[in-house]
Structure 1
Amino acid sequence: MFSFLKPNPIKQLQKSYESLTTRAFKAQRNGDIRTYSLLTEEAEAVKAKIEAIEAERC
């Protein structure tokens, strides 16, 4: 009934994904490849969650 009041989980996950990719980019530019790979792995996990939620909605 009040579904418009529920927070959109995709927006929150998208924001997290963008933050992780930005941090990974900065780490790569600074030469910290280990941190870059860890952040990229986390970002890929978040992206998989986003895709799963979008597939569930369709």
Structure 2
Amino acid sequence: YKEAIVFSDYWNAYQAVIPSEQHRPVGKETGEMAHIERWNNTLRQHLARFVRKTLS
């Protein structure tokens, strides 16, 4: 994981945390982050059932 290329958007906080040789900022129109966003959505949907009804 220390040598992996990290794709993110152009938010400045990412540039402060991720080393520049690993960081590849891309826009949403490129589609580079679509699979990550799809995976995050899948996880969110599956984990939503564990939320108590009183918290939602």
Structure 2 length-normalised TM: 0.39
TM-score if structure 1 supplies the norm length? Answer: 0.38
Which one has more relative contact order, counting CA pairs under 8 Å at least 6 apart? 1
| Structure whose residues are more often strand by fraction | 2
- The structure that is helix-richer by fraction is 1
